[in-house]
Structure 1
Amino acid sequence: MPVEEHPKAKRLRITMCVLFVLNIVCLALPYAAVQEENTYRTMTAIQMIFGADANDGRFIKMALLSSLFLILPLAGFLTASFDKHRNIKCIVGFLSSVGGIVAIIYMIGPQYVSIGATLALLLYIVSALCSTMMFMTNLAIENESRENKDLKK
């Protein structure tokens, strides 16, 4: 018989799922400013993933690196949605959030970040804090259940 998930942990898990879905939605927004000759234009992360403007053999490099923008929130969402009783969702959620922040800052560059990447950065920061909070909540719930078992003995 499976153990029921604690309501606090369930709320935090659902919040993490929503934050990761919102990060995936941010991929359709303007993500980075790209300089072409003397003008700037914005590209979405989807355009970067599929290499819409990759010239002179940069397609493979651009597509592989930009696919991190999709893989990281997808991994965080899938682990948060399917892992209900272990703390792996917290660890993977935190690592994918930090990985997303690092990917945006180092792959796009702070000076070329557009509105989609800015929203994604904010969502990644909130999801990292949420996964840390869920980890601490799960530890407190486990500690409380151990104390209750010890008191019953």
Structure 2
Amino acid sequence: MLKIPENKTRKRFRIAQCIFYALLVMLCSMPYIQGATTDGKFFSYSVLDLMSFIGGTADGTLGDAFLNYVMYTPILIIIPVIGFFFCLFDRERNIKNIVSLLCCAAGIVAILAIAGVAMSLGAILSILIYLLISFLTTIAIFARFTKDSSDDNKKQNIRK
């Protein structure tokens, strides 16, 4: 892929994408899954709580159902970390935007598959941020093909 030097607009989009990916990692500490047991007790688990259940045992059939998906919960942290590092280090190529769109799609599918109907606030906010990142990424793809007006002004000042 062609390397094009980063202008101000593309830099702002890249920094915004990095901030939103870092926010997605922090949202993993918020409740992702909520529900009620057969005893009438309510529960709410974050991704970090679910990761601590890996290899453990659960109470009741509802706990056993969640243990089937617990081994996939590290994906919810790995996907935003991959997107963050691609956006952080790729300054001149368009690969960061392609990877960012793939990470957004994979993140939304992972949240819907793991949390399902038991979604809580952290999962809903994560889906909204993934949609925001995908919107920013599509704008950043097209911003790559536009010229920065400050570059044109500099060229005109040099000619004078």
TM-score w.r.t. length of structure 2 = 0.77
Instruction: Tell me which residue corresponds to 1:8.
Output: 9
In 1, are the aligned partners of 2:51 and 2:74 still within 8 Å (CA)? yes
Question: Residue 111 of structure 2 aligns to a residue in which SS?
Answer: helix
Instruction: Tell me which residue corresponds to 1:17.
Output: 18
Instruction: Tell me which residue corresponds to 1:139.
Output: 145
Q: Tell me which moved more, 99-108 or 69-78.
A: 99-108
Displacement after TM superposition at 1:61 (Å): 5.1
- Separation in structure 2 between the aligned mates of residue 114 and residue 53 of structure 1, nearest angstrom: 24
In 1, are the aligned partners of 2:51 and 2:71 still within 8 Å (CA)? yes
AA paired with 1:48? L
- Separation in structure 2 between the aligned mates of residue 61 and residue 95 of structure 1, nearest angstrom: 25
Corresponding residue to 2:122 among 116, 124, 129: 116
CA deviation map 1:67-102 (0-9, x unaligned): 110010000000000000001100111111111111
- Separation in structure 2 between the aligned mates of residue 123 and residue 30 of structure 1, nearest angstrom: 16
Instruction: Tell me which residue corresponds to 2:37.
Output: 36
Q: Tell me which moved more, 131-140 or 97-106.
A: 131-140
- Separation in structure 1 between the aligned mates of residue 36 and residue 73 of structure 2, nearest angstrom: 17
Displacement after TM superposition at 1:116 (Å): 0.7
- Separation in structure 1 between the aligned mates of residue 65 and residue 33 of structure 2, nearest angstrom: 17
- Whose radius of gyration is greater, 1 or 2? 2
- Structure 1: 5+ residue runs without aligned partners? 146-153
In 1, are the aligned partners of 2:111 and 2:127 still within 8 Å (CA)? yes
TM-score w.r.t. length of structure 1 = 0.81
Q: Tell me which moved more, 23-32 or 46-55.
A: 46-55
In 2, are the aligned partners of 1:79 and 1:92 still within 8 Å (CA)? yes
Q: Using the aligned pairs only, state the percent identity.
A: 26
- Separation in structure 2 between the aligned mates of residue 81 and residue 60 of structure 1, nearest angstrom: 34
Instruction: Tell me which residue corresponds to 1:48.
Output: 50
In 2, are the aligned partners of 1:30 and 1:116 still within 8 Å (CA)? yes
The count of corresponding residues between Structure 1 and Structure 2 is 141
